[in-house]
Amino acid sequence: MCREKPHFFPLRPQRPLGGTIKLSSKLRSIQLIITVTFTFVAVLVAVLVSFMLYNKFAKTAEENANLNMQQIIEQVNYNLELYAKGMRNIYEKAEAQITLTPDIGAPMLKERMSTLLESREDLVSVALFTPQGELVLNVPGLEMRHNTQLENQSWYTSPRRTSEISFSAPHIQNLFKSKYTWVVSMSKLIQYREAGVLKTGNLLIDFNFGTIDELSKQVKLGKRGYAYILDSLGNIVYHPQQQLIYAGLKYENVEPVLEYAYRSYLDESTGEKRFITVRTLAETGWKIVGVAYYDEIVTTKRDLNQFLSWFLAVVILCVIIVSVLLSARISSPIRKLERTVKQVGEGDLNTPINVSGAYEVEQLSKRFNLMLQRIRQLMEQIIYEQETKRKGELEVLQSQINPHFLYNTLNSVIRLAERGKTDEVVTMIHSLSKFFRISLSKGKNIITVQEELDHIRHYLVIQSFRFKNKFKYEIHAQDEVLQCQTIKLILQPIVENALYHGIEMMPDEGLISIRAELQNKLIVITIMDNGLGMSKETLSTILTGVCKSGTGSGVGVRNVNERIKLYYGREFGISFESAIEEGTTVTLTFPALVSQELDEEKEGGAQE
Amino acid sequence: MMNKRFWLILFCCAAAGFALNSCISSPPDYISTAKTRSVHMIVKMSRGDYWNTVKLGAEAAAQEFNVKLTFKAPDSESDVDEQIAMVENAIDEKADVIVLAASSYMGLAQVVDKAAVFNKIPVISVDAEVGSARVSTYIGSNGYEAGQKSAERLIKLLDAHGEIGIINFTSSTENAQSVSSTAIDYGARDADEREKGFLNYAARYPDIHVVEIAYTPSNIANAEELTRQMLNQHPRLRGIATLNETGSQGAAKAIQQLGLKGIRMVAFDSSPSMMELLQDGTVQATVVQNPFSNGYLAIKHAVEILEGIKVPERVDTGTKIIDLDNMLWPENQKLLFPFVR
C-alpha cells in the first residue's frame, strides 16, 4: 500500500533494489523472529515432553503387558495343575477300588467304574490289562478291536519304567470299537485280585481333550496370541491350531521352549517378534507356553505413538497459528509506525501518527507525534520569520528613498532658497545628501554605529529646519561603541516617531537626547524625548503592530524591533518607557559586534 | 505477502505432521485380516468323510484369515451341471475367489474361463484340476503318483501275479462307457490320472492282469454292487484297487459281507471307517491324501492372491501309503485322524 507513493514524493530516497538485502531484512523482521523463536521453543518443549511421556508410558505398557501375560499363563498353569491333580485323584480312586475288590470280575466293580466314568465327561475309558496285554477289565464295555498293537504304545510300556502314574502324549485310542478319538492316557502297574489271587495289571484311564481345550481356550493374549501345551518330550499336547500343526501346515519352534522350565523370552524365529512365556506343570511335566505377538503387546505403544504424533502436529499447528497471530499483533503497530515514520522521513510532515497497540508502541507513537508537531511548529516559525525578514528588508529598501520625505525636504529647501538663506540651503542639501548616502550605503545592510549616528544626526538637522527649531537634540556616544556593527536605519523610525507623535504637538520646545553606550558587551542606545508621551495602552500595542503611523517614513518601530530580533536573537530588541506629559524613552539593545567577517557574512545572508 | 508466508508455513507443518504420522503407523507385515473376504468353495460332493475333512481345513483357514466361506457341493459327484450352476451362482454373488474341485476336467472349463477372464475372479482348483489355463493355482495330490503307489502296494501284496480289478470313479455313467473312445476328456482329472498311474505301473508286471475297470458315480451302494458283479465275473480275482473313498468303502463292504479273506485290497483315502477296515484286516493298505491341507491351503492361497502375494502355480500336498503297521505312527496318526474338537 505504500508502493503508490513515489510519484507524490519524487525526492524521497528510492528503495535499494537488491533482492538479498530485502530478504535478509525481511528475515530480521520482528514478526518472523517472534514466530520462529516462539514456535521453536514451543515445539522443542512439546517434543521433549512427548518423547519423555512416550518412553515412560511405552515402558510401563510393555511391562504391564508382559506381566499380564505371565499372570494369564500362570493362571492357566494353575488350572491345568488342578486338572491334572483331579485326574490323578480319579486314577487313585479307581486304583484303590480295584485293589480292594476281591475279584476283578465282580459286577459291583464294573458298576462303580461306570459311575466314575460317567461322573466326568472327559473320561473316555477305564481298562485293565495284564502285563501280556490281555484285557481284564473294560469300562464302558465296548468290544475290543483287532490289531491294536498296544504293546508298542507308550501308555503300555512306560509303567514298566516308573512306579508313578505316567501321562502319555496325545494319541489315537484304537482299542475299542467306537469313534477314533484323540486321548491322553494315564497308566500305572497296579495290584488286583482275580478269584482271590493277587496279580499285577496295567490300569489305563483315557481322557479326552475337552477340559484341556476349555481351559486353554480362555487364554486371550491379544488378538492373535495363544497358548499351547507341550509334553516333556516336546510333543504338542494341545495347540489352538493343533490340526494345522499335525498336518504340517504350521510349525512351532519348540526347541528353545524345551530347554527351560520357567522362562520368558523374545522369539524371532518366524520373522515376527513374539513374546514367549513358559511355565511347567509339576504334575505331568507338561509345559504351558504362552505366545503373544510383540506388535500387539505394544499396541498401546503404537496407539500412544499415534496419539502423540497427532497431538504434536496439532500443538505445532496451534503454536504456529498463535505465534503468527501474536507476532502480527506485536509487530503490526510497529510496522505501521515504521511506515508512517518513513512517510514523514520522505517529507510528508502532515502525516498523522495515531498508532494504537502495545503500550510502548502507543507511547512511542505519541512522543513521535509530539515531536512532529514541534517540527511543524518550528517549520512554520521559520517560514514566518523568513517572510518577515524579506518584508522588513523590502520596507527598508523602500525607506531608503522615501519620496514623501524627499518631497517635504526639497520643499523646505526651495522655501529657504527663496528667502535667500544660502548657508542654510547648503547645510540642508549637505545633510540630505549625507542622509541618503548613509541610507543607501552601497546597499549594505550592516553599518557602524558611527554611521548610524551620523545618519540620525543628518536627519535631525533636516527636520530641525522643517520644524523651525521646535526642538533641540543631543547625541552622546561612547567611543567604544562607534566602531561596532549595527543594522542600518534602526534609529530613524524611532526619532521620527518622537518628532511626529511626541514633539510636534507640544507647545514647548522639545528635546531629543540620543545615547549610545556599551553595557556588558551589549550596545544600548536610548532615545529620550520630553514630548507628549504615551498611554499604557498605546505602549502595549506599539510593538504588536496594530497602530502604524500613516505619515512616517514607512519603516515602523515594529520593523526595527523585528529586524533586531531576527538578526541578533529574540532576547534583543526595543523597549519603551513612557508617561503622559513626561516623554518617552526608547531603548535599543543588541550585541556589540566588531568582527568584519561576521559583518560580511551577515551582509551576504541579507543579500541572498 | 505475510498471508502467503503464513499459509506456506502452515502447509509445511501439516505436511510434516502427516508424514510423521504415516511413518509411525505403517501396517504390520502379515496377511491382513482386517477385511472380510468372501470365498466360495465348490467341491465335488456334499457327502463323504474326505470332503468333510477338506471342509474342516477350509474352515480352519477361513477362521484364521477372516474369510466368509461359502461351501457348496452337489449331492452326487457325477452332477456336473449342478456344479456349473454353482460356479455361475458364485460369479453372480460376486465372490472374491472361487475354489473349485472340478467333477469334470472339461465340463467345468468354460465356466471357469468365464469367471477368471470376464469377471476377474481368481479361481483356485483343489484336488481335481480343471481344463482352464486361467486357474491361479492347483492344490492337491499328484494323482498319477497316487495310482502308482496303489499299484505298487497291491502288486507287492499279490507277489506280482494274478488278476486285478479296479473300481474307479468319474463324472457320469454315460461317459464312463466311452471314456476310451472320446477324444474329449469329460471325466474328473484326478480319477483319470490315478487310473493312468496304476495301469502304467501294473504294465511292468507281465503276470499281473487288470481284468476290469469299473466306474462308480461315487455312491457306496453302487460301488458295492459293482464289486459284487466284478467278483462274480472274475472268480479268480486276487486283488482289488479302489481309486476313491466311496468306491473303497463300497468295495470293502462287499468283500467283508462275502467273507472273502483271500482278496487283497488297496483302498483310497482315509475315512475313520476305512481305518476300522484297515485295523480289522479287510483292507490291507490305503493311499491317503491330505484333505485337511488341501482345504486349508486353498483358502490360505485365496487370501494371498487377494493380498497380491505370489502363490506357487502348483502345490502338491502329497500322498502316502498307510497300512496296519504304520497307521499308529505318531505322524500318521496326525495325518489320518483329524484333531476335531
Task: Locate B274 and state its grid cell.
Answer: 476305512
Å between B206 CA and nearest CA of chain A: 34
Chain B hits for A309, Cβ within 8 Å? 17, 20-21, 24
Subunit contact B60:A306, Cβ cutoff 8 A: no
Q: Are B251 and B169 in contact (CB under 8 A)?
A: no
Subunit contact A306:B25, Cβ cutoff 8 A: yes
Max Cα–Cα distance, chain B, nearest Å? 106
| Pairwise CA distance, residues B209 & B161, whole Å | 8
Task: Locate A274 and state its grid cell.
Answer: 513374539
| Pairwise CA distance, residues A188 & A203, whole Å | 6
User: Which of A148, A172, A306 is nearest residue B337 as measured by Cβ atoms?
Assistant: A172
Task: Locate A198 and state its grid cell.
Answer: 493277587
Distances (CA, A) of A132 to A89, A271, B325: 27, 50, 20
Subunit contact B2:A309, Cβ cutoff 8 A: no
| Pairwise CA distance, residues A159 & A325, whole Å | 86
**E strands, A231-318, in order:** 236-238, 263-267, 274-280, 287-293
Residues of chain A with pLDDT under 70: 1-26, 297-300, 397-401, 544-555, 595-608
In CATH terms, the fold of domain A400-607 is Heat Shock Protein 90 (3.30.565)
User: Which of B2, B24, B338 is nearest residue A306 as measured by Cβ atoms?
Assistant: B24
- Residue count of chain A: 608
Report yes or no: A248 at the B interface, CB cutoff 8 Å: yes
Subunit contact A247:B17, Cβ cutoff 8 A: no
pLDDT (0 to 100) of residue A8? 46
Strand, helix or coil at A388? helix
Q: Are B245 and B268 in contact (CB under 8 A)?
A: yes
Å between B339 CA and nearest CA of chain A: 5
Subunit contact B17:A316, Cβ cutoff 8 A: yes
Task: Locate A183 and state its grid cell.
Answer: 486321548
Q: Are B299 and B31 in contact (CB under 8 A)?
A: no
Report yes or no: A29 at the B interface, CB cutoff 8 Å: no
Nearest CA in chain B to A151: B328
User: Which of A35, A152, A302 is nearest residue B25 as measured by Cβ atoms?
Assistant: A302
| Pairwise CA distance, residues A494 & A515, whole Å | 13
Nearest CA in chain B to A211: B341
Phi and psi of B98, rounded to 5°?
Answer: -115, 130
Residue with cell 550592516: A446
Å between A282 CA and nearest CA of chain B: 25
Subunit contact B60:A243, Cβ cutoff 8 A: yes
Subunit contact A246:B293, Cβ cutoff 8 A: no
List the alpha helices (DSSP H) in A158-262: 210-217, 242-246, 255-258
Residue boundaries of the structural domains of chain A: 58-304, 400-607
Q: Which amino acid belongs to residue B126? A: V
- Do the domains spanning A58-304 and A400-607 agree at the CATH topology level? no
Can you give chain B as a three-state secondary structure string?
A: CHHHHHHHHHHHHHHHHHHHHHHHCCCCCCCCCCCCEEEEEECCCCCCHHHHHHHHHHHHHHHHCCEEEEEECCCCCCCHHHHHHHHHHHHHCCCCEEEECCCCCCCCHHHHHHHHHHCCCCEEEECCCCCCCCCCEEEECCHHHHHHHHHHHHHHHCCCCEEEEEEEECCCHHHHHCCCCCCCCCCCHHHHHHHHHHHHHHCCCCCEEEEEEEEECCCHHHHHHHHHHHHHHCCCEEEEEECCHHHHHHHHHHHHHHCCCCCEEEEECCCHHHHHHHHHCCCCEEEECCHHHHHHHHHHHHHHHHHCCCCCCEEECCCEEEECCCCCCHHHHHHHCCCCC
Our CA dihedral for A407, A409, A412, A416, rounded to 10 degrees, sits at: -120
DSSP string computed for A322-338: HHHHHHHHHHHHHHHHH
pLDDT (0 to 100) of residue B152? 93
| Pairwise CA distance, residues B54 & B60, whole Å | 10
pLDDT (0 to 100) of residue B9? 57
Phi and psi of B188, rounded to 5°?
Answer: -75, 140
Subunit contact A272:B30, Cβ cutoff 8 A: yes
Residues of chain B with pLDDT under 70: 1-32, 171-187, 340-341
Peptide bond into A6 cis (omega under 30): no
| Pairwise CA distance, residues A15 & A434, whole Å | 62
Report yes or no: A19 at the B interface, CB cutoff 8 Å: no
Q: Which amino acid belongs to residue B57? A: G
pLDDT (0 to 100) of residue B11? 60
Distances (CA, A) of B219 to A242, B82, B229: 32, 17, 15
Å between B173 CA and nearest CA of chain A: 34
Nearest CA in chain B to A303: B25
Residue with cell 496296519: B324
pLDDT (0 to 100) of residue A198? 86
DSSP H/E element including A428: helix A422-440
Å between A235 CA and nearest CA of chain B: 10
Strand, helix or coil at A174? coil
Subunit contact A182:B57, Cβ cutoff 8 A: no
Chain B hits for A179, Cβ within 8 Å? 272
The partner residues of A128 in beta bridges, in order of sequence, read A137, A203
Q: Which amino acid belongs to residue A507? A: P
Dump pLDDT digits (tens) for B182-219.
434 566 788 888 999 999 999 999 999 999 888 887 77
The proportion of chain A whose per-residue pLDDT surpasses 90, expressed as a percent, equals 6
CATH of A58-304, one of 3.40.50.150, 2.60.40.420, 3.40.50.1220, 3.30.450.20: 3.30.450.20
Chain A hits for B10, Cβ within 8 Å? 317, 320-321
Nearest CA in chain B to A316: B13
| Pairwise CA distance, residues B28 & B34, whole Å | 11
Chain A hits for B14, Cβ within 8 Å? 313, 317
The pTM (predicted TM-score) of the whole model is 0.61
Q: How deeply is A182 buried, as exposed, middle or buried, from its count of CB atoms within 10 A (0-12, 13-18, 19+)?
A: buried
Hey, how many other C-beta atoms are within 10 angstroms of the C-beta on B281? 12
Residue with cell 518584508: A391
pLDDT (0 to 100) of residue A596? 60
Report yes or no: A11 at the B interface, CB cutoff 8 Å: no
User: Model ipTM?
Assistant: 0.76
Chain A hits for B15, Cβ within 8 Å? none
Report yes or no: A51 at the B interface, CB cutoff 8 Å: no
Hey, how many other C-beta atoms are within 10 angstroms of the C-beta on A272? 14
Report yes or no: A144 at the B interface, CB cutoff 8 Å: no
CA A579 to chain CA centroid, Å, is 74
First to last CA, chain A: 42
Chain A hits for B20, Cβ within 8 Å? 309, 312-313
